[in-house]
Structure 1
Amino acid sequence: MTDTGIDYREVFQAQPGLVALLTPDLVYADANEEFCRSSGRSREQLLGRHLFDVFPDNPDDPDATGVHNLRASLLRVLETGERDAMALQRYDVESAEHPGEWQERYWSPLNAPVMGPDGTVALLLHRAEDVTALVRAGGPGSGAHRHLEAELYARARELQQVNERLRQANAKEREIALALQRAMLPAPQPLGAHRAAVRYRPATGALNVCGDWYDLVPLPEGDRMVVSVGDVVGHGLDAACVMGQLRSALSAASRVALGPAEALQVLDRYARFVEGAGSTTAVTAFLDWDRHTVTYSSAGHPPPALLRGDGSVEFLDGATDPPLDARPEPIVRPRARTPFADGEALVLYTDGLVERRDRDIDAGLRLLADSLSRHQGADPEALADAVLLDLLPTGGVTDDTALVVVAL
């Protein structure tokens, strides 16, 4: 028994339905007793083997779609980190006692993610209900049975076709949103004597492309620059369009505003007239190399990180305010200023870099600080790559990430 008094291994085995655990490569990691009994396979015949090596399509059925549909569902779970309920499936099973003989079977499957500590899908939970008896409720060979079977199977095929069309439409929307977002994000440009690196990593889910942006604006007077990042609430094409409007508005305001707080106040007013802009977060920093200062203001955004020359990291959280359009009437936003020394670095980012569903943001900020400290002294390009490698899981995340590194 565990410390909680519950033996979860026994709970798994006692599940009344068919339950199996698969690795992200679709290899069996475990299966409960009911799964083995109903499928006619022992645990030894399952564990360590690929799902579709154990359960291929019936070669005698040219219309078999079980493998295609199940693979598509499992890949959606891996991609999005969300559970996926499948329509009724006909998925025949080869007899374990009589190879070459296929049993006509019907299933109601549900696939769900088991998340690992790094926020990625560590295992896939595949649960299925054997509804063959229900489909055959009219009795073998009876007219009622054949009618019910044909109706259920036709409905299942219709649902599968609808799901496939939705998947294709979502994939097309993702492609358009990504193209629009990348077109509106500024390409790296000469920054005089200063060096900076920018990175954008889209979310892995088909509908999860978000409205993250970044901007670097050299100012005409003195040795100054404005650096900003922001994050629009929402996903898909709408979020990308809102992002483009807000990024352009903040870029223009930064060129004429007295400082970062005033620039965000202008953006706050503008956001009131842009549908979907409410609750957007943003942070902007004015860098002044003549005075060696960073002046910043934040609208509900994660704090910029200042990597000091000794490897320590200071999070700039002295001027944090609610997101855009969060108050009935806009008020003066706060600003703060901190000095910097030559050789230090300023890092701005969106929450996709540090937030995960299985941990709070403070843990993500600690990981970011540790990564920056370990790579202190690297040039902006190398530092940006190192941070992404340290903090983003290899399987991707369900939120976009924008990152800006400026050498001070």
Structure 2
Amino acid sequence: MKYSGIDYEAVFQALPGAVALLTTDFVYVDVNEAFLRVSRRTRDQLVGRYLFDAFPDNPNDPAATGRQNLEMSLRRVADTGERDAMALQRYDVGNPDRPGEWEERYWSPVNVPVLGPDGRVALLLHRVEDVTELIRARGGHDGGDRARVLEADLYTRAIELQEVNERLRQAHAREREVALALQAAMLPASGPVGRRVAVRYRPAVGSLNVCGDWYDLAELTGDRIAVAVGDVVGHGLNAAGVMGQLRSALSAAVRVADGPAAALDALGLYARSVDGAESSTVVQVVVDHTSHTLTYSSAGHPPPALLHADGGIEFLDQATDPPLGARPEHVARPQSDTTFTEGATLVLYTDGLVERRREDIDTGLRRLADCLTRHRSADAETLADTLLRELIPPNGNSDDTALVIVRL
């Protein structure tokens, strides 16, 4: 049930857990009452202040790592848009009324991104639980030697976990490098279709979610070219291998099939025999320069955009069908066409260009349309670079992106 008129400021303040809102530069925007209680600070001592000015490391403890660990976690959340639950942290807190006095404190923090309307990280939600009393209780009434032993044990386990994570990260990085090299070897350049075409592939940042996106260009008879973009479910080497098979199969099919729908029919039948190809999406467009016609068919893929010479935008969404292998039985794909005038631009892309988490796809399509209209006079190469610069978050995306621009 949806309620209107909710006072979310009151809800925020009433939350039983200690929660703070930070900018992506780590300045306090707001804190709730529970956060003020556990931190023993007033609102004036926090709101508007830099986090690590309000809570610096204990200068009397040369081994203190609380600030470093928290800053790394927050920066990771700001850069990736992914939540991060930190390991148990010792982060001593100074007494605001008695400068120079520090209290040993233990925290269990979770950091979460808050996305803005454009899908980018706008704020950081920092939730902490004070577990100091729990640590002291397990260490004895005086919080003495047993507490220090427990702290050392927790620290050792955290170091061991970090070492395991580092080995996994290195293994993932090697797989990513190999997959990207394989991807680059299999994706074509704009090639013989001329300088009026620009192609781009932008891998995901800091993620193995790469090498599932692809594009293809083919010259056909009768002053026609075929342009396709697709997206394989999966990532890494497996996705790169499946991508290569699907791209090659469609490139061959479109040269002999009677139109894009027939080419996707053939690809769909072939995909049933390829492990990992199910639920892949693809769109195929044939550009006929003689008749000034675009003929297209889509298997569950975001619609190509046709930028008319006057700045109007037309999304090619009249021949959309489910992804490859989504139906238990084979059904012929739909096909549609539209006309264009000289000076128009065709844009094919994968979902990394327009989709953002917890955002409706229509919002991303509106961003794309607005960007295309504003830059309608740009050549293909300039427009491709502009779309990537304006539509992909500055710190990169968690999904890879393929893009093809054709000036008609």
TM-score, scaled relative to structure 1:
0.89
Over 3 Å counting, the alpha-carbon distance change for 1:287 and 1:393 in structure 2 is same
Task: Provide the residue aligned with 1:263 in structure 2.
Answer: 263
Task: Provide the residue aligned with 1:241 in structure 2.
Answer: 241
Counterpart contact for 1:346–1:405, Cα < 8 Å: yes
Task: Provide the residue aligned with 2:118 in structure 1.
Answer: 118
Q: Deviations over 1:48-69 (max 9, x none)?
A: 3332333333344343332232
Q: Deviations over 1:76-131 (max 9, x none)?
A: 32233222111111222233334344322211111111111110111111111111
Structure 1 counterpart of 2:357, one-letter code: R
Unaligned regions of 5+ residues in structure 2, if any? none
Task: Provide the residue aligned with 2:251 in structure 1.
Answer: 251
Counterpart contact for 2:66–2:90, Cα < 8 Å: yes
Match status 1:231 vs 2:217: no
Task: Provide the residue aligned with 1:333 in structure 2.
Answer: 333
Separation in 1 of the partners of 2:280 and 2:360?
A: 20
Match status 1:180 vs 2:185: no
Unaligned regions of 5+ residues in structure 1, if any? none
Separation in 2 of the partners of 1:170 and 1:127?
A: 30
Q: Deviations over 1:137-179 (max 9, x none)?
A: 0122555444444433433443344444444544554444444
Over 3 Å counting, the alpha-carbon distance change for 1:179 and 1:70 in structure 2 is farther
Task: Provide the residue aligned with 1:199 in structure 2.
Answer: 200
Over 3 Å counting, the alpha-carbon distance change for 1:175 and 1:53 in structure 2 is farther
Counterpart contact for 1:210–1:399, Cα < 8 Å: no
- Pick which of 199-208 and 68-77 moved more: 199-208
Separation in 1 of the partners of 2:351 and 2:113?
A: 22
Task: Provide the residue aligned with 1:154 in structure 2.
Answer: 156
Counterpart contact for 1:367–1:391, Cα < 8 Å: yes
Counterpart contact for 2:58–2:92, Cα < 8 Å: yes
Structure 2 counterpart of 1:154, one-letter code: T
Q: Deviations over 1:3-59 (max 9, x none)?
A: 945432233233333211111122222222332333343333333333233333334
Counterpart contact for 2:207–2:398, Cα < 8 Å: no
Structure 2 counterpart of 1:188, one-letter code: S
Counterpart contact for 2:204–2:210, Cα < 8 Å: yes
Counterpart contact for 1:17–1:127, Cα < 8 Å: yes
Separation in 2 of the partners of 1:101 and 1:178?
A: 53
**CA RMSD, 1 decimal:** 2.6
Question: What secondary structure, in the 3-state scheme, does the structure 1 residue paired with 2:61 have?
Answer: coil
Question: What secondary structure, in the 3-state scheme, does the structure 2 residue paired with 1:46 have?
Answer: coil
Q: Deviations over 1:255-283 (max 9, x none)?
A: 33332222222221222222211100001
Counterpart contact for 1:120–1:396, Cα < 8 Å: no
Over 3 Å counting, the alpha-carbon distance change for 1:10 and 1:316 in structure 2 is closer
4+ residue runs over 6 A deviation: none
Q: Trace 1:8-407 onto structure 2 (pairs within 5 A).
A: 8-137=8-137, 138-140=140-142, 142=144, 144-192=146-194, 195-209=196-210, 211-219=212-220, 221-407=221-407
Counterpart contact for 1:278–1:326, Cα < 8 Å: yes
Separation in 2 of the partners of 1:360 and 1:142?
A: 54
Question: What secondary structure, in the 3-state scheme, does the structure 1 residue paired with 2:191 have?
Answer: coil
Separation in 2 of the partners of 1:335 and 1:235?
A: 30
Over 3 Å counting, the alpha-carbon distance change for 1:237 and 1:76 in structure 2 is farther
Give the number of aligned pairs.
404
- Pick which of 128-137 and 346-355 moved more: 346-355
Separation in 2 of the partners of 1:237 and 1:304?
A: 27
Q: Deviations over 1:348-384 (max 9, x none)?
A: 1112222233432233333333332333333222332
Separation in 2 of the partners of 1:399 and 1:289?
A: 33
- Pick which of 117-126 and 97-106 moved more: 97-106
Separation in 2 of the partners of 1:55 and 1:176?
A: 43
Question: What secondary structure, in the 3-state scheme, does the structure 2 residue paired with 1:45 have?
Answer: coil
